[in-house]
């Protein structure tokens, strides 16, 4: 007979919350309750770590990817998508509709063993509506049950997506790359890493994903960025709103 006290039968079933809290609810939650450890997590059935609540899948929302002591974290941030307006006479609706059609082509891509991936550049002057378009795209994929990732650096992005795909292999992902010209010129990681990610050559995890980049200076981007369909296959120029839209 074992000297250990009897315990409940081990189960690897994930405890889930049927109604995940909103971002606002999480912020207002009592920290003593929100930080309480409620269960044990293990990856090998021999080492166990006390954790709080767990979810079978990430809540559809906007995230940044962060790293601490070698662990990857998806951190929700508030992306205000309320009261967005589809302005007449703009390309916003066209962009959203094109991405919608792309999500529906998943099985077609799989049939030909092609990564279900594409890249879109939104170019135009400051204040023309690029940020509004990004939010509309984000809102659309979140409503589909997907997630939005704010680009920070190529290494974290790739590591985070690899982890995410182990758990959620087919969830739609939109990666937001605001001010692409600045990302490329100021990158400490080298442009080659960024370009390899956009090409999808570094990992099969880069699947069912759309990269959406913005720039105020499209004409200053190198042709290896704008003229390579494997990186960005479509460019939308967003002009300042016309009189009707205003």
DSSP characters over 191-241:
HHHHHHHHHT-S-TT--SEEEEEEES-GGGS-HHHHT-TTT--EEEE-PPP
Digits of tens for pLDDT over the chain (246 positions)?
A: 444 334 334 344 444 444 455 545 544 443 434 568 888 988 888 888 888 888 899 999 999 999 988 889 999 998 887 777 666 556 888 898 899 999 999 999 999 999 999 999 999 888 888 888 999 999 999 999 999 999 998 999 999 999 999 999 999 999 999 999 989 887 766 688 898 899 987 778 899 999 999 999 998 898 888 888 889 999 998 876 665 555
Using a cut of 0.75, tell me whether the model's pTM lies above it.
Answer: yes
CA distance 151 to 148: 10
Q: Other CB atoms closer than 10 Å to residue 128's CB: what's the count?
A: 20
């Amino acid at each position: 007979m074992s000297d250990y006290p009897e315990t409940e039968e081990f189960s690897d079933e994930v405890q889930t919350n049927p109604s995940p809290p909103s971002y606002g609810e999480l912020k207002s939650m009592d920290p003593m309750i929100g930080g309480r450890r409620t269960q044990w997590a293990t990856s090998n059935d021999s080492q166990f770590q006390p954790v709080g609540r767990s979810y079978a899948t990430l809540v559809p929302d906007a995230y940044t990817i962060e790293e601490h002591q070698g662990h990857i974290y998806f951190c929700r941030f508030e992306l205000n998508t309320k009261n967005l307006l589809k302005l007449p006479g703009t390309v916003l609706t066209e962009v959203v509709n094109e991405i919608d059609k792309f999500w529906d082509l998943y099985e077609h891509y799989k049939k030909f063993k092609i990564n279900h991936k594409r890249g879109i550049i939104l170019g135009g002057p400051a204040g023309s509506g690029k940020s509004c378009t990004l939010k509309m795209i984000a809102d659309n994929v979140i409503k589909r049950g997907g997630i939005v990732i704010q680009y920070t650096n190529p290494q974290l992005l790739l590591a985070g997506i690899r982890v995410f795909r182990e758990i959620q292999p087919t969830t739609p992902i939109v990666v937001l790359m605001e001010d692409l010209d600045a990302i490329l010129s100021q990158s400490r990681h080298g442009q080659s890493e960024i370009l390899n990610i956009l090409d999808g050559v570094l990992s099969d995890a880069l699947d069912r994903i759309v990269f959406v980049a913005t720039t105020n200076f499209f004409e200053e981007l190198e042709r290896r960025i704008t003229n390579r369909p494997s990186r960005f296959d479509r460019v939308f120029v967003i002009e300042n709103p016309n009189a009707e839209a205003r």
